[in-house]
A and B are shown apart, each in its own frame.
Chain A
Amino acid sequence: MSTAGINWFKYSSPATFYPLAGRMIPWFAALAVVSAVAGLYLGFFVAPPDYQQGDAYRIMFIHVPAAWMSMFIYVVMAGYAALGLIFNTRLSAMMASALAPTGAMFTFLALWTGALWGKPMWGTWWVWDARLTSELILLFLYIGYMSLEAAIDDPRRASRASGLLAIVGVVNVPIIYYSVQWWNTLHQGASISFDKAPTMAATMLAALLVMTFACWMYAIAIVLMRVRNIILERERHSEWVMGVLEEEK
């Protein structure tokens, strides 16, 4: 029996995942803090000012990672939702619902910093550019997901229903993205283009990548923290949760 090898499903049970997540959180949190400090130092003090945009471009170091994360987290969330629906694993559904607020936060951050960047560069807070519009729609999708989950009292039904919505949404995301792009380009050439100067200084790129790494680590740490809370809440009637709570008292 012992030759069966690794049990791939060991950590798909909330009871075993809960302590594992607890052990992993400090690592990811520490990495997030260290790389955020390093990235911000690189971005603000080492990277040279842009020859066109001056110092205002430096908001990019939070704006671009946030935008990347916002889209990536939605796909990951839909992936977990699909796993939860297909294999009926409780933990996958919990991960999906733990990811949603972080994804929405990054989407909002990308929009907000984009507006702050847009004002000095384009002279306006908002343009109906294809990218801005699709990011806004992404925020709506996150909000729809979270409100559907919040509106249903039975957590099992809530996670299944919102999981289905996330999957329907992820099928729609490419369609929405391209339709918004065509909508904008068919109308008229975009008056403002996102294309920046052809090449980035190496330090700028390094700062950007370090900041992206920091965002990743932050997202993982915060999602693990949130999923631990969700596990405790949903499994509160089980014995192992009682044991954990007794221990932590």
Chain B
Amino acid sequence: MLAALRCMVMRDLVLAVRRVSDVLTTLFFFVIVVSLFPLGVGPEMEMLRTIAPGVVWVAAILASMLALGRLFGHDYGDGTLEQMLLAPQPLALLVLGKVLAHWLVTGLPLVLMAPLLGLQFGLDTVALEVLVISLLLGTPAISLIGAVGAALTLGVRGGGVLVSLLVLPLYIPVLIFGAGAVEAEAAGLGAGGHLSLLGAIAVLALCFAPLAAAAALRISLE
């Protein structure tokens, strides 16, 4: 079973490396959205520092949501997904592998890019650290929850817009605790509580989201 999981991850990574532009598009979308905020609200450093965690988090959520279409889209188009449904390995495991690979190519670059953007917003070192940790815990949860939405909207007309309507409300807890962690640290409250809750959400999503996404795939492909 672990072999199947590893095989799935490696396959999707290879496919992603062959289409580097897809990965870069997500990353640059993230950078551009974050850069728009100072232009929109003005360059006062004090204000930018207070809105930075929220801005980075919202942009990260939007960027990974945009990439959701690619999670199952290609495999659905060329029929690979139907073969996965027929595979002897549990579908939830294969879905987990796909989500893991998806996070490695879309979520992780965002996490690595975040401190640079945080610097532009005048965050200090401690806040940057918390921001990175919160994104590191939160983006897997976002990919996992998003997988359910992506599976449900597979092959549906207007699926790209629809998926945002489905998953954005479900992202709210992640956003609250992710951005809240940085703000709590800045307010001197300590980010521990928020990060623990964020971790709890990630574990919960890890347990249930692959099952729900697998069920959704079966509905979409029947």
Q: Which of A107-155 contact B (CB under 8 A)?
A: 137, 140-141, 143-144, 147-148, 151-152
Q: Residues of B contacting A137 with CB < 8 Å?
A: 169, 172
Any A CB within 8 A of the CB of B176: yes
Using known A-B contacts A147-B165, A148-B162, A164-B212, determine if residue A157 contacts B170 with beta carbons closer than 8 Å: no
B184 touches A186 (CB 8 A): yes
Closest to A157 in B: B219
Closest to B201 in A: A175
Any A CB within 8 A of the CB of B177: yes
Task: State the interface size on chain B (CB cutoff 8 A).
Answer: 30
The docked-state distance in angstroms from the alpha carbon of A33 to that of B151 is 44
Any A CB within 8 A of the CB of B26: no
The docked-state distance in angstroms from the alpha carbon of A186 to that of B208 is 28
The docked-state distance in angstroms from the alpha carbon of A140 to that of B220 is 23
Any A CB within 8 A of the CB of B156: yes
Any B CB within 8 A of the CB of A180: yes
| Contact of B176 (CB < 8 Å), options: A143, A169, A179 | A179
Any B CB within 8 A of the CB of A165: yes
Closest to A152 in B: B156
Interface size class of chain A, counting residues whose CB lies under 8 Å from the partner chain: 20 to 34
A179 touches B162 (CB 8 A): no
Q: Residues of B contacting A179 with CB < 8 Å?
A: 172-173, 176-177, 197
Using known A-B contacts A140-B168, A164-B219, A175-B173, determine if residue A186 contacts B152 with beta carbons closer than 8 Å: no
B152 touches A148 (CB 8 A): yes
B152 touches A183 (CB 8 A): no
Cβ proximity bits A147-180 to B, threshold 8 Å, 1 near / 0 not: 1100110000100110011011101100110011
Tell me, rounded to whole Å, the shortest Cβ–Cβ distance linking A97 to chain B.
Answer: 15
Tell me, rounded to whole Å, the shortest Cβ–Cβ distance linking B121 to chain A.
Answer: 19
Q: Which of B139-196 contact A (CB under 8 A)?
A: 148, 152-153, 156-159, 162, 165-166, 168-170, 172-173, 176-177, 180, 183-184, 189
B157 touches A151 (CB 8 A): yes
The docked-state distance in angstroms from the alpha carbon of A10 to that of B66 is 47
Using known A-B contacts A152-B156, A179-B177, A183-B180, determine if residue A161 contacts B169 with beta carbons closer than 8 Å: no
A157 touches B173 (CB 8 A): no
Any A CB within 8 A of the CB of B78: no
A141 touches B215 (CB 8 A): no
B219 touches A160 (CB 8 A): yes
A144 touches B172 (CB 8 A): no
The docked-state distance in angstroms from the alpha carbon of A179 to that of B12 is 34
Tell me, rounded to whole Å, the shortest Cβ–Cβ distance linking A111 to chain B.
Answer: 15
Q: Residues of A contacting B222 with CB < 8 Å?
A: 157
The docked-state distance in angstroms from the alpha carbon of A175 to that of B162 is 23
Any A CB within 8 A of the CB of B133: no
Any A CB within 8 A of the CB of B216: yes
Closest to A142 in B: B169
A to B CB contacts below 8 Å, 10 in the list: A137-B172, A140-B165, A141-B169, A144-B166, A148-B153, A151-B157, A157-B219, A161-B220, A176-B170, A183-B176
State the A residues within 8 Å of B (CB): 137, 140-141, 143-144, 147-148, 151-152, 157, 160-161, 164-165, 167-169, 171-172, 175-176, 179-180, 182-183, 186-187
State the B residues within 8 Å of A (CB): 148, 152-153, 156-159, 162, 165-166, 168-170, 172-173, 176-177, 180, 183-184, 189, 197, 201, 208, 212, 215-216, 219-220, 222
Not counting A157-B220, A179-B172, a sample of 12 additional A-B residue pairs whose C-beta atoms are within 8 angstroms of each other reads A147-B165, A151-B153, A151-B159, A157-B219, A157-B222, A160-B219, A168-B212, A176-B169, A179-B177, A186-B180, A186-B184, A187-B183
6 closest A-B pairs by beta carbon, nearest first, are A179-B173, A140-B169, A183-B176, A144-B166, A160-B219, A144-B165
